[in-house]
Amino acid sequence: MADAQATQTARQPGGEFRLGGDLPVHRLGYGAMQITGKGIWGEPSDRDGAIAVLRRAVELGVNFIDTADSYGPFVSEELIREALHPYPENLVIATKGGLLRTGPDEWVPLGKPAYLRQQVETSLRRLGVERIDLYQLHRVDRDYPLADQVGELKSLQDEGKIRHIGLSEVDAGQIEEAGKTAEIVSVQNLFNLATRHHEAVLDYATEHNIGFIPWFPIATGELAKPGSVLEQAAKEHGRSPAQLALAWLLRRSPVMLPIPGTSKVAHLEDNMAAADIELTDEEFEQLSALA
């Protein structure tokens, strides 16, 4: 039985969620931001290592990879194609547009509809696909009506270039507003065990069966200090605090889709092992009370 369970975990880490009700993804995915250079700018210092991480993720059962045209910029999408194209049939690649890069660690929202269309077209070419499974507005640009930004993505969806549409760093009101223009199937906000100011958005997503993709999902920091509840629980499970932080996310909501990122195969394998951790009710409540 143990071998059978291990095989199931490898095939479907974290269980399954259907984006938009029709696009199945394994709930523990991979975020491809860290495979670029310092400051999320330029080529990685170890290109072969980045390729190896992407391929190993798929070997471990990941079928949901999140990236963006701004990672590099463009480098992450190019590496994904180099590593994995032609893609496995069940692999879902989500990408994003709406941020202009002007230098390392510099991000400028740009939601001009013509720019968003350009970014979708170039992402299609870089990824080597005819349709992007999930395209997310990376940031809402206050200089343009949200309806115009989402409306351009809806037009691209109607043209068959986007399958599903998502948003990033929004509140529940913005999700509702965007939903008047197009169906929103995912939201990607900062969320982890230590930082939970988007609880209301998560609750809204859970209620409406919208995939919630927490970026920066591992942030244990002070929570994992010696003698803490997190450290004690990690020792009892024979696991790392980071693994328990991911297990807590998976337990927090059935729509939760963590995408821990890394540029190292060993770190990737450690993260993916979080999928088979089952927290007790008491452990979950203790961890939830930490922040």
Q: Which residues are catalytic?
A: 71
DSSP assignment string, 78-146: HHHHHHHPSPPTT-EEEEEE-EEEEETTEEEE---HHHHHHHHHHHHHHHT-SSEEEEEESS--TTS-H
Q: Give dist(CA 213, CA 181) in Å, integer.
A: 21
Name the token pair of 187: 């939201």
- In 10 A of CB 243, how many CB atoms? 23
Dihedral angle sign, alpha carbons of residues 132, 138, 140, 143: negative
Q: Which amino acid is at 125?
A: R
Q: Note the Cα 26 to chain centre separation in Å.
A: 11
